[in-house]
Structure 1
């Protein structure tokens, strides 16, 4: 039984890595994957068949390509490994916006999870209250002192590892927050922050409406992504926090579209976040 469990876990980890490769490259080869994971071609074919049955890829002769649905919304575990340096830099800069005693609404994005684990310490007498629809975020912070955690509950979106729907929205509507800290599926200087579907957009729109200040956390790769729907224009946010991977043209577009653009340097760049607006 233990051997079988180990086999299942190894297979699932392989499949997550295959999806990461597809997100980055767009296509994979059976032969190359078999060499990488030191398994047989038949083992990789079984992995690809399982992912194809779940609608996450399309089989091709000798490999697979990413399905259209997977391009819209990749599983949380896959997204968590993408652009990790940029996400950590953004999270570090955004965490400095939060103070003890604040009530913060945080979404279920992978960038928001990086932010949550970097929240500043707070005394038990003046904790930071975190309200989130993220499953992983609540689990990750469950044992941390100085935080008061509130989960929205609701309908579980397994792909996004989050709660959505009317129950989650009803929970959020009861609160008044100091800050909303949100990410997005896609970033468009003209249309704003976009999401993979209406249920995710509705949660983020509601978090914005109940918060005094709102901050969008988006790594520069989001400018290349596409969204199904948009939940807020960029000037709706108090601050837009991005990494330093922007070219000058894109940076200029964002500066013209936002109230305040905060550039968070990745580890290879300067050690601290900079604010182009001088604020």
Structure 2
């Protein structure tokens, strides 16, 4: 593959996934990580992407949401493994909130039929949980985001204000040790922040490609997270940095 062609495809991958790590690009294009770093440096100078610690992030319209169909197949093995681990933290009688991430949808699929109350802004999560007789599902309502099949906006935020939950299970587009959690869509970021405010404990579910990434809208500081579940491809330096800030980190093997 010619260098120019590789550069073009790197930009396409970054724009499709919003964030990607050097190790992943190295495997995709079968070149060394050092070559990828040089590629990213050149592409950043051309204002085609932005480098992050360990990878690159897209600089296309920050408010654009990736369609649910695309997100469902991106890092699917990692998301499913993380979701299975997250389900282990749920106890009968819990009141929880799930966001509109695909990892939350995997949680809904893997969740046993237990007496639970689940708040969610996700249509997909609500439909999946409707198959479980003992689970009480409450939808936020609000302004529909067609691509993510989720509700956002003032009505959704006011709806959450009426409740209190034991645990919030959330995902995001970027996890940065200094800049905190962030999302590519401001509406989603605001709602995730609201979900955290009504929960006793927040569990972040994020695959390893999300770490070192900073996207458009900040959700919260790292210290607001009690527990992180990620996959075993995460750089050990991120685990140490999170634990130094009092965040418990659980890594899961990819199945």
Give the TM-score of the pair, scaled to structure 2: 0.74
Q: Which runs of 5+ in 2 are unaligned?
A: 1-11, 20-57
Give CA deviations for 1:238-274 in whole Å, capped at 9, x if unaligned. Answer: 211111111222332233234211112212xxxxxxx
Post-superposition shift, 1:25? Answer: 11
Q: Which residue of 2 aligns with 1:231?
A: 219
- Given that 1:234 and 1:258 are in contact with CA atoms closer than 8 Å, whether structure 2 keeps it comes out as no
Post-superposition shift, 1:233? Answer: 1.4
Q: How many residues align?
A: 206
Q: How does 1:106-125 map to 2 (within 5 A)?
A: 106-122=98-114
From the CA coordinates, give the structure whose radius of gyration is larger: 1
- C-alpha spacing 1:24/1:155, structure 2 compared with 1 (3 Å): closer
The residue matched to 1:69 in structure 2 has which SS? coil
Q: How does 1:91-170 map to 2 (within 5 A)?
A: 91-122=83-114, 127-170=115-158
Give, in whole Å, the separation in 2 of the partners of 1:248 and 1:228.
25
- C-alpha spacing 1:168/1:250, structure 2 compared with 1 (3 Å): same
Q: How big is the alpha-carbon RMSD for the aligned residues of Structure 1 and Structure 2? A: 2.4
Q: How does 1:187-226 map to 2 (within 5 A)?
A: 187-223=175-211, 225-226=213-214
Q: Which residue of 2 aligns with 1:68?
A: 60
- C-alpha spacing 1:21/1:201, structure 2 compared with 1 (3 Å): closer
* Segments ≥4 residues shifted beyond 6 Å: 19-22
Higher relative contact order (CA 8 A, sep 6+): 2
Give, in whole Å, the separation in 2 of the partners of 1:183 and 1:21.
19
Post-superposition shift, 1:73? Answer: 3.0
Q: Which residue of 1 aligns with 2:72?
A: 80
Q: How does 1:260-275 map to 2 (within 5 A)?
A: 260-267=248-255
The residue matched to 1:252 in structure 2 has which SS? helix
Give, in whole Å, the separation in 2 of the partners of 1:71 and 1:106.
21
Q: Which runs of 5+ in 1 are unaligned?
A: 1-18, 27-65, 268-279
Q: Which residue of 1 aligns with 2:244?
A: 256
Q: Which is worse superposed, 216-225 or 94-103?
A: 216-225
Post-superposition shift, 1:68? Answer: 1.7
Q: Which residue of 1 aligns with 2:25?
A: none
